[in-house]
Amino acid sequence: MKYVQIAALVLLAVAAIILCVIGAGPLAQLQSGFLGILSPLSQSGNAVKNSIGNLGKDLMTLDQLQAEYNRLLSENKQLRAENNGLRDLQADNDHLRSILGYRERSAFHLIPAAVLGHDAQAWWSTIKINRGTKDGIATDMPVITDRGLVGKTTAVSREMSEVILITDENCKVAAKVEGTKDQGICAGARAPEGELKLSFLNKLADLQPGQKVYTAGVSGGVFPSGIALGTVKNFHARELDGEAVLEPAADLGSLEEVFVVTGAK
Partner 1 sequence: MRTALLFVLLLILLPVSVAVQDLLPAIPPFQERVLLLPVVFCFGAMALPLLPALCFALLVGLVQGLAILQIESGQIELGLVGPVVFFLSWAILLQMASEATRGIRWEIHAMGSALVTLTLIGGEFLILCAKRGGFPADMTVLMRCLVPAGSALLIAPVVYFLLRSLVPLVPDAGLGLTRKSTLDA
φ, ψ for residue 258 (rounded to 5)? -135, 170
φ, ψ for residue 235 (rounded to 5)? -135, 140
No. of helices (H) and no. of strands (E), the chain: 3, 12
What sign does the CA torsion over 255, 200, 190, 161 have?
A: positive
Q: Are 143 and 153 in contact (CB under 8 A)?
A: yes
Ordered DSSP codes for 101-138: T-----SEEEEEEEEEEE---SS--EEEES--GGGT--
Q: In the complex with partner 1, which residue's Cβ is closer, 118 or 212?
A: 118
CA dist 184 and 241 (Å) reads 10
CA dist 182 and 214 (Å) reads 11
CA dist 230 and 105 (Å) reads 24
Q: In the complex with partner 1, which residue's Cβ is closer, 194 or 212?
A: 194
Q: In the complex with partner 1, which residue's Cβ is closer, 45 or 210?
A: 45
Query: In the complex, what is the shortest distance from the CB of residue 202 to partner 1, in angstroms, rounded to a whole number?
Result: 23
Which residues of this protein are in contact with partner 1, per CB under 8 A?
5, 8-9, 12, 15-16, 19-20, 22, 24, 27-28, 30-31, 34, 37-38, 41-42, 45-46, 49, 116-124, 128, 154-155, 164, 169-170, 189-191, 193-194, 253
Half-sphere exposure of 4 (CA within 13 A, CB side): 0
Q: In the complex with partner 1, which residue's Cβ is closer, 50 or 106?
A: 50
Q: In the complex with partner 1, which residue's Cβ is closer, 20 or 204?
A: 20
Query: In the complex, what is the shortest distance from the CB of residue 191 to partner 1, in angstroms, rounded to a whole number?
Result: 5
Query: In the complex, what is the shortest distance from the CB of residue 5 to partner 1, in angstroms, rounded to a whole number?
Result: 6
Q: In the complex with partner 1, which residue's Cβ is closer, 31 or 183?
A: 31
Query: In the complex, what is the shortest distance from the CB of residue 181 to partner 1, in angstroms, rounded to a whole number?
Result: 29
Query: In the complex, what is the shortest distance from the CB of residue 260 to partner 1, in angstroms, rounded to a whole number?
Result: 19
Q: In the complex with partner 1, which residue's Cβ is closer, 110 or 189?
A: 189
Query: In the complex, what is the shortest distance from the CB of residue 52 to partner 1, in angstroms, rounded to a whole number?
Result: 11
Distances (CA, A) of 27 to 18, 108, 174: 11, 31, 28
Please list, in sequence order, all residues whose beta carbon lies within 8 angstroms of the beta carbon of residue 31, skipping any fewer than 6 positions away. 155
Distances (CA, A) of 95 to 84, 86, 104, 162: 18, 14, 15, 45
Query: In the complex, what is the shortest distance from the CB of residue 75 to partner 1, in angstroms, rounded to a whole number?
Result: 32
Q: In the complex with partner 1, which residue's Cβ is closer, 120 or 264?
A: 120
CA dist 70 and 223 (Å) reads 48
Query: In the complex, what is the shortest distance from the CB of residue 189 to partner 1, in angstroms, rounded to a whole number?
Result: 7
